[in-house]
Chains A and B, each alone.
Chain A
Amino acid sequence: MGSEHGHDHEHDHGDWPYPHPKQPDLEDGPLTHHMAMTEAVAELLIDKGIFSADEFRRQLELMDSKSPAEGARMVARAWADPDFKAHMLEDVNAAAKEMDIDAGGIPIMAVENTPDVHNVIVCTLCSCYPRNLIGLPPDWYKSRAYRSRMVREPRAVLAEFGTVLPDDVEIRVHDSTADLRYLVIPRRPEGTEGMDEEALTALVTRDSLIGVTHLKTE
């Protein structure tokens, strides 16, 4: 509809950002070629009825609702409840549902750190990440340095994150290449025996769920 010519009709594109007051922190640069492409593609897909402005807005909201807090809640439950941990190790997506968390359709595998094994996650081919459970990946996870080096010199990369492990602990690097995503269950810090799940949840960091750090005992 009406996309061939300069259209002066009012667009119904939901919370359309352009024109809008530019947001100084996030968009103080010029409108780049790729930003214009993004807006144009979104508008055209909406005009063609591929998706509605409403669906688009809801998708953006859904993404904003994902954060490491969901993964952290699951880990705290796993620490507190061995049955839940067993369920999580068997099927993260189903275990998430038990907690009313939607982990999405891509299978997520939980890997548990123990005194003998420390797991860490990378995607050398692109940037696969358990985003449906812990949100969008940090920049460094997508970086050439992380993707290149983690499989070859994991101890050096971990040391850059302040994580140093003895040589008799197996560092197990999971390269998430295709149809699976990974989530690390970090070791429960010592001295937390009396804590309830909420307090435990607050201890779990995003980086510990990727495996680049472990949780301090202090």
Chain B
Amino acid sequence: MTARYSVGDKVRVRRADPPGHVRTPTFIRDHAGTVTKVVGSFANPEELAYGRPGTPKQTLYWVQFPQTELWPDYQGGLKDTSVVDVYESWLDSAEEGA
């Protein structure tokens, strides 16, 4: 399986609010971050949760977000970040001109 994004790519977590079982927390949706690791491919939990096989597999990434991007009123160091495991289907490119 080919990963769509590489380390260093700017990505934005898709804005979506479906019912059902998802593993993309709300606090990162519609926020931009940077891919810091391409972890590998995993059966899709949105399918596994309903007893299905979870295919096709999804590439999983580490996406790092500056805390100041997630929380405009963030109190703390400007370097502080959150790193979240995000599946590819939740990511759009946020590169300039993308």
Are A and B in direct contact (Cβ within 8 Å)?
Answer: yes
Interface contact B23-A170, CB-CB below 8 Å = no
Which B residues are in CB contact (< 8 Å) with A167?
76-78
What is the CA–CA distance of A137 and B92 in the complex, to the nearest angstrom? 34
Interface majority SS (helix, strand, loop, mixed), chain B: mixed
Given A152-B71, A155-B75: A177 in contact with B25 (beta carbons within 8 A): yes
- Measured CB to CB, the nearest residue on chain B to A175 is B84
Measured between C-beta atoms, what is the minimum distance from A119 to chain B in Å?
Answer: 9
What is the CA–CA distance of A142 and B70 in the complex, to the nearest angstrom? 23
| Number of chain B residues whose Cβ lies closer than 8 Å to a Cβ of chain A | 27
Given contact pairs A154-B76, A171-B67, a sample of 18 additional A-B residue pairs in the complex whose CB atoms are under 8 Å apart: A107-B39, A151-B27, A152-B71, A154-B67, A155-B76, A155-B80, A156-B75, A166-B77, A169-B77, A170-B81, A171-B76, A173-B80, A173-B82, A173-B83, A174-B84, A176-B85, A177-B85, A179-B45
12 A-B contact pairs sorted by A residue (CB < 8 Å): A124-B27, A125-B23, A152-B27, A166-B77, A170-B80, A171-B67, A172-B81, A172-B82, A173-B83, A175-B84, A176-B85, A178-B45
